[in-house]
Amino acid sequence: MATLRLGDTAPDFEQASTEGPIRFHEWLGDHWGVLFSHPADFTPVCTTELGTTAKLKDDFARRNTKVIALSVDPVESHHRWVSDINDTQNTEVNFPILADADRKVSQLYDLIHPQASTTATVRSVFVIDPQKKIRLIITYPASTGRNFDEILRVIDSLQLTDHHSVATPANWKEGDDVVIVPSLQDPEVVKQKFPQGWEAVRPYLRYTSLPRRTAG
């Protein structure tokens, strides 16, 4: 299939997992979702990533976000790997890991890159909104652990900008000032939307503040 792009509907599927069969869209429900792939079980970088994800359970929950991992090994291997993750990372894995032994999900999400491997998935992250639209795609090299602070930051930005006529500037994090989108030009509408005021550094660069928002 064609490469997935931002704004595409996340492909639905049914696949085995460490928590039983998963029908993806049904499992996601009205939540945001993070789907992240791993080339194989018992890999060192991915072990630390899954442990980190488990420790961030409350952070994802505050953002109305469910997480699900994927590896091409079978369920039995996943369960053994989970024991290692829990032991080495001092946590308890609290989310499903898809057992994509037949590569069905990997093919749907274009995770098999011949330049990297003809059998194992690349290490990609997909952020999916409650309408099942793909809002973020990041693919990492095998040697570099994923930055989950950045994944949470992007979810915060997406949830904020979905509800307000703003965008988030470079290195923005929750609570920082945002910028009013250039398409919003009517002065009366701007005053109505931003009664707290704003700073116009340039006509197209207007900073303002918004209440903190972390829920989807």
Domain of 73, CATH number, reads: 3.40.30.10
> Are both 27 and 59 inside the same structural domain?
yes
Q: Tell me whether residue 33 is in a domain.
A: yes
Please state, for a pLDDT cut of 70, what percent of the chain lies above it: 93
pLDDT of residue 216: 45
Looking at the predicted structure, is the pLDDT value of residue 55 above 70? yes
CA pair distance 92, 124, nearest whole angstrom: 23
pLDDT exceeds 80 at position 92: yes
Based on the fold, state whether residues 61 and 119 are members of the same structural domain. Answer: yes
Is 7 a member of any domain?
no
Phi, psi of 47 (to 5 degrees): -60, -45
Alpha-carbon distance of 116 to 204, in angstroms, equals 42
- pLDDT score, position 78: 97
3-state secondary structure string across the chain: CCCCCCCCECCCCEECEECECEEHHHHHCCCEEEEEEECCCCCHHHHHHHHHHHHCHHHHHHCCEEEEEEECCCHHHHHHHHHHHHHHHCCCCCCCEEECCCCHHHHHCCCCCCCCCCCCCCEEEEEECCCCEEEEEEEECCCCCCCHHHHHHHHHHHHHHHHCCEECCCCCCCCCCEEECCCCCCHHHHHHHCCCCCEEEECCEEEECCCCCCCC
Q: Is residue 16 within 8 Å of residue 114, measured between CB atoms?
A: no
Say yes or no to pLDDT of 116 above 60.
Answer: no
Note whether 98 and 44 are same-domain residues: yes
Buried b (16+ CB within 10 A) or exposed e, 72-100: bbebebbeebbeebeeebebebebbbbbb
Q: Which domain holds residue 172?
A: 164-208
What mean pLDDT is predicted for residues 36-57?
Answer: 95
137 and 174 share a domain? no
If asked whether residues 66 and 122 sit together in one domain, one would say yes
Establish if 158 belongs to a structural domain: no
The answer to whether position 195 is within a domain reads yes
Location of structure tokens 């009205």: 30
Q: Is residue 216 part of a domain?
A: no
Give the pLDDT confidence score for residue 210 in this predicted structure.
87
Q: Does the pLDDT at position 1 exceed 80?
A: no
Q: Is residue 189 part of a domain?
A: yes
Q: Band of the pLDDT at 118, cuts 50, 70, 90? A: low
Residues marked as catalytic: 46
Token digits of residue 216: 């989807």
Number of structural domains the chain divides into: 2
| Residue 163 in tokens | 């509800």
Q: pTM value?
A: 0.92
Give the pLDDT confidence score for residue 17 in this predicted structure. 97
* Residue 1 within a domain: no
pLDDT of residue 3: 86
Confidence at 123, pLDDT banded by 50, 70, 90 = confident
Question: What pLDDT does 39 receive?
Answer: 87
pLDDT for 215 equals: 46
Find the radius of gyration of the CA atoms of the chain: 19
pLDDT, tens digit (0-9, with 9 covering 90-100), for 137-160: 999 988 899 999 999 999 999 999
Q: 171 is written with which tokens?
A: 């290195």
Position 115 scores a pLDDT of 62
- Cα gap 212→210, rounded to integer Å: 6
Contacts (Cβ under 8 Å, ≥6 apart) of 166 = 160, 178, 179, 180, 181, 208, 210
Amino acid identity of 204? Y
pLDDT tens column, 62-90: 999 999 999 999 999 999 999 999 999 99
Compute the mean pLDDT over every residue in the chain, rounded to the nearest whole number. 92
